[in-house]
Amino acid sequence: MKIAIALGTRPEIIKMSPVIRELEKRQVTYFILHTGQHYSHNLDRVFFEQLKLPQAKYNLEVGSGSHAQQTAKILIGVENVLRDESPHIILVEGDTNSVFAGALAATKLHVKVGHVEAGLRSYDRSMPEEINRILTDHCSDYLFAPTPKARQILLGEGISKEKIFVTGNTIVDAVYQNLGIAKEQGNTLSSLNLTPKEYFLVTLHRQENVDNPRRFASILKGLDKVAAEFRIPTVYPVHPHSRKRMNEFGLDPKNITLIEPVSFLDFLQLESNARLILTDSGGVQEEACILGIPCVTLRDNTERPETLEVGSNLLAGTLPDKILRCTRLMLNKENKWSNPFGDGKAGQRIVRIITEDN
């Protein structure tokens, strides 16, 4: 059999890395198709190198554009590759335009689709990711649900139970596997003059936050309040798009340390040694939970409700006083929650299921 692995963004590379490693280990025939949705060297190719993964066989280099433009370019590019390669199955991960376009192109060509991290829902249709998740799930042949809750969501939407497999989340595998690689890379904290457990880490990049001047300003004001009250470094690696918006909106936070984007391995070191993480990223909510680091989510909803249930995370929204209040609450909690995302063997399960079934 032949397997296509479709990727488009940094989180997809990270979360697919355990699957790729398992395919290599089992010597299964596969190829990597990179859509180029993240199109700078820092945001894609370098991750393959640092995570010690083989480079993509194809790169569509679609770059930025409106949702329709980007999805259309990926759809056309993926269709051409699938026609040439004739794989038995394509694996997609997550909720980006690359995921939906890859799944749709494959479905139209009668190539089976496996959706890694299926069944996540924020129930906020204003988020493009939510539309991508729903549509991808409903045209997939294999739905790899990370948790029993995700499986129940899929069953509730009428998807056949024969298509759904609870595997755990590959982010657990990725954190465990890549933390070792990260520690070999040198000490990121020293280069930034940071002391373990004596800094807060921020990520803030979602369109609904950074493209809205009122929301972005409100969140930054909240982060400024947090940094002022606790008087420890509050470090924010700023995505290029977020920095562009910050400049356009005239936003200039006073108490936050803004740094350039860092590699995943450097970021993993920053996450694992932080006192607390404030984020609008779904993946970072998971990583914080797995690493035992308290998390405050700068959103009104989350498709990772398991983090709220085990107590590793609080939803703060975007109001400054609530962000500060949630930070106080999380710092006063004991981080003894259990990890709800699995045992770190999701990649093995996914590869076993698709190879035994084809």
Which residues participate in catalysis according to the annotation?
A: 205
Tokens standing for residue 255: 């108490």
Q: Which residues pair with 3 in a beta bridge?
A: 30, 89
Q: How far is CA 26 from CA 223, 270, 325, in A?
A: 46, 33, 49
**3-class state of residue 304 by DSSP:** coil
Alpha-carbon span 249 to 216, nearest angstrom: 9
- Residue 223 phi, psi dihedral angles, 5° rounding: -65, -40
User: Nearest to residue 201, comparing CAs of 129, 298, 337?
Assistant: 298
DSSP class of residue 190 equals H
Q: Are 61 and 39 in contact (CB under 8 A)?
A: yes
User: Nearest to residue 51, comparing CAs of 165, 227, 164, 177?
Assistant: 177
User: Nearest to residue 354, comparing CAs of 146, 142, 152?
Assistant: 142
Alpha-carbon span 357 to 188, nearest angstrom: 43
Going by their DSSP bridges, the two strands 29-34 and 2-7 should be labelled as: parallel
* CA angle 99–102–104, rounded 5-degree value: 105
Q: Which amino acid is at 266?
A: D
